[in-house]
Amino acid sequence: MDLNKKEFQIEIAGKPLTITVSKLAEQANAAVIAQYGDTTVLATTVMGAKDKENIDYLPLVVDYEERFYAAGKIIGSRFIRREGRPSEDAVLSGRLIDRTIRPLFNHSIRRDIQVVLTVLSYDEQNDPDFVALFAASTALMISDIPWNGPVSGIKMAKMKSGELILNPENEQIIEKEKIVFEAFIGGTENKINMIELSGYEAQENEVVESFATAHSEIKKMTEFQKEIVKEIGKPKAEVKLKEINPELKKKAAEFINGKLEPAVYTKHKTEQHKKIEELKTTLKEYLVESGAEDVLWIENFFEEEIDAIIHKNILEKELRPDGRKLDEVRSLHAQIGLFKRLHGSSLFIRGGTQALVVTTLAAPGAEQLVETMEASSKRRFMLHYNFPPYSTGEIGRMGAPGRREIGHGALAEKAIKAVLPSQEEFPYTIRVVSEILASNGSSSMATTCASSLSLMDAGVPLKKHVAGIAMGIITDQQPTPLSSGQATDPAFFVAGNRQPKHKVLTDIQGPEDHYGDMDCKVAGTDSGINAIQMDVKINGITSEILKEVLIQAKKARLEILDVMNSVISKPKEKVSEYAPVVAVFEINPEQIGEVIGPGGKIINGIIKDTGVFSIDIEQNGKIFIAGSDSEKVGKASSFIQSLTKEFKIGDIVEGEVVRILEFGAIVDIGGGKDGMIHVSELKNGFVKKVEDVVKIGDFVRAKVIKTDNGKLGLSIKALSIPEEEESNRG
């Protein structure tokens, strides 16, 4: 069978990236297979044939599908050996691609569009996200789906040596202590439109300079996609948008003139929302009385009008909805130790956003086992983010976290991870849970601040406090057009063939986030950046604007850190009395079996007898014991140490005589071990019967004089022999 295969290849970061287009998945609007190293991703994209009715959003879905076979694995429970709900890593990969391609769609489209990325092969070295994003963009470009790409993305690692590695292989970045930051950036030919960064105290200048260097590879990839389109691209489909009756629109504009702006510029979110909804209702009633039958378009009309008001007032007057200066942070409040029995807790409030964060400490055995296509590992630090509907004054579903919750939690976790102590320094499993009580702008950054406070309250020895802030931008750049080919043309932005004007906003709240053109969250310490996450609604920003954003974010971050340090500036010296006590020590790995015993008999017996919570043993012989108090943990530790003690000649032992033999006595020296005192070693001089010297139940002290494959020979007599004489005797 002729699959009509066409292959295209380009070198990126020193390795070939291959695109294959054929009849495979031919019923999709377009399908592309991309390969980098031996990592291979299939991208398909499909658009519905008809517009969806009664919706006011772009119905775009991006699905990132891990396949365990891609890494040669069979993973799952004993009874379910197939892929189920996407892993958190897969969700984050899907969001990364979604956030890069979404700004280049016209958001007035009402047809279903789905992009599915299926990882077919993973070589354990090359990042599937890079391959998947390139494949998604290429599939959209060659399809008939209206889209204003292309986009591409690239992974990078800035090393402490100063080297910048593009698309690093996993083995190059395995030693995290050698890395300043890792990042993935996405963008168009001229702009950056998506950022994910994690690191430790990266400097603003080095971040911007690294991104500018990496962007040259993005530009090369977008030009490559254009060449593919020239050869095999389909003409874009005509998608007609429902038009609003111009007379009705004019009537609506006249009715709300002078009424909408005062409603928008109401400081309190709840009151603002109430006023806008009341105005919508009265407008609908007015239009219906005027003979209008269809008023569903009013929602979109209001969105456009509010968007225009906010853009105009900020660009022309630097007037924000709540009256703040462009670089002003809202009022701050921080508090710790809210509940006695919790191991650590905090409340952080910034304006109308409230994050209650709780830290729980547990034994190392409470680590989360993570099995994904890319890796099997354990997580000793977990940060979970909950966004209940009441936080925005709404009624909604409660249940498993969605993409948004997973993404926000992952961002805060990245920011905090960099300052956590090692397991050797602090042998606990740590779980942090953020409950968003109220939300009006960047609850993920409030979570970051509250998490840092809560961890210090719990006695976790953080290196430093971490704070975060959400930055925004307002430009006079026009929205993405319906037809393709204009979004990356500078002449498209505004009349006069000039770059768009912009204003950078610090600490964006609800309306500025919803109607603004960028959401850039920046978290770090007083010395540098630990995490960045950026999305845009326009086609991107330049490196110069990004630098301006990061510098303004630093000013806000330092202001927030001052407030946090005024509440608690260093971790508490002790963990909570309600937290478990954990002891750590090591034994010879060959002795693990002696501690566990047949069928776990010995280790379970120790847990039962001492009352500790758990005893966890790693393959390297490291033992973690957790209990409610030091006495119980100490008792279990002593038992195991005595059980595994390796005796040497000259050691002094004590124990009870438990058995009398014709030629000696057996002494229980603890830890399940015993030794024998030969009749000739009971005392100086001749001994006729063992019972003449010791009896069962006697407590004796003796010296080890022989070790033979774990069997100990003891001597009471040797205790009274001078060392020099004993040495000569040996």
Per-residue pLDDT reduced to its tens digit, 576-605: 989 988 888 888 888 888 788 888 888 898
Q: Are residues 31 and 106 in the same domain?
A: yes
> Last residue of a domain, which of 182, 207, 234?
234
Residues 181 and 310 in one domain: no
What's 638's domain CATH number?
3.30.1370.10
Q: Inform me whether the pLDDT recorded for 181 exceeds 90.
A: yes
Residue 522 lies in a domain: no
pTM for the model? 0.85
For 329-370, how does the pLDDT look when each residue is reduced to its tens digit (9 = 90+)? Answer: 999 999 999 998 999 999 999 999 999 999 999 988 877 777
How far is the C-alpha of 537 from the C-alpha of 532, rounded, in Å?
17
Indicate the DSSP class of residue 249.
H
- The verdict on 696 and 716 lying in the same domain is yes
Of 317, 350, 368, which residue constitutes the final position of a domain?
A: 317
585 shares its domain with 722? no
pLDDT above 70 covers a percentage of the chain that reads 94
- pLDDT tens readout for residues 133-142: 999 999 999 9
Distance (Å) of CA 468 to CA 201, 348, 349: 13, 12, 13
Q: What is the layout of strands, in order, in the sheet containing 381-386?
A: 332-336, 344-350, 353-362, 429-438, 381-386
Q: Are residues 31 and 172 in the same domain?
A: yes
Q: Are residues 16 and 107 in the same domain?
A: yes
Q: Residue 142: count other Cβ atoms within 10 Å of its Cβ.
A: 22
Q: Which of 202, 207, 212 is nearest to 179 (CA)?
A: 202
> What mean pLDDT do residues 601-619 have?
88
User: Considering the domain boundaries, does residue 559 fall inside one?
Assistant: no
* Same domain for 184 and 289: no
Quick check: 692 pLDDT over 90?
no
**For position 566, what pLDDT does the model report?**
97
* 483-523 pLDDT tens trace: 443 333 333 333 334 467 899 999 999 889 889 999 999 99
> Are 229 and 259 in the same domain?
no
pLDDT in tens, 463-486: 999 999 999 999 987 666 654 433
The number of folded domains in the chain is 4
Same domain, 177 and 227: yes
Distance (Å) of CA 141 to CA 20, 93, 190: 14, 20, 17
**Which residues, listed in sequence order, are joined to residue 115 by a DSSP beta bridge?**
45, 62
- 334, part of any domain: no
Q: Where are the beta strands (DSSP E) in 484-528?
A: 502-506, 518-524
Instruction: Check residue 568 and give its pLDDT.
Output: 97
626 contacts 581 by C-beta, under 8 angstroms: yes
- Cα(253)–Cα(276) distance, integer angstroms: 14
Q: How far apart are CA 170 and CA 518, in angstroms?
A: 31
**Mean of the per-residue pLDDT values of the chain:** 88
On whether the CB atoms of residues 436 and 450 are closer than 8 A, the answer is no
Quick check: is 470 in a domain? no
Instruction: Please tell me whether residues 16 and 93 are part of one structural domain.
Output: yes
Asked if residue 514 is part of any domain, the answer here is no
Percent of the chain with pLDDT over 90: 53
Angle between helices 543-567 and 204-232 (to 10 degrees): 140
Distance CA(398)–CA(135), nearest Å, equals 35
- Strands 614-617 vs 581-586: parallel, antiparallel or unpaired: unpaired
Is-contact 167 144, C-beta < 8 A? Answer: no
Q: Where is the domain boundary, 234, 257, 279? A: 234
Task: Output the pLDDT for position 304.
Answer: 85
Where residue 394 falls among pLDDT bands split at 50, 70, 90?
A: confident
Q: Which long-range contacts (CB under 8 A, 24 or more apart) does 167-175 make?
A: 167/12, 167/13, 167/15, 167/36, 167/126, 167/127, 167/130, 169/37, 169/125, 169/126, 170/124, 170/125, 171/125
- One domain for residues 587 and 630: yes
CATH of the domain at 670: 2.40.50.140
Cα dihedral sign for 446, 448, 451, 456? negative
Residues 6 or more apart in contact with residue 174 via CB below 8 angstroms: none
Residue 280: which domain range? 246-317
Same domain, yes or no: 148 and 286: no
Mean per-residue pLDDT, 74-93: 78
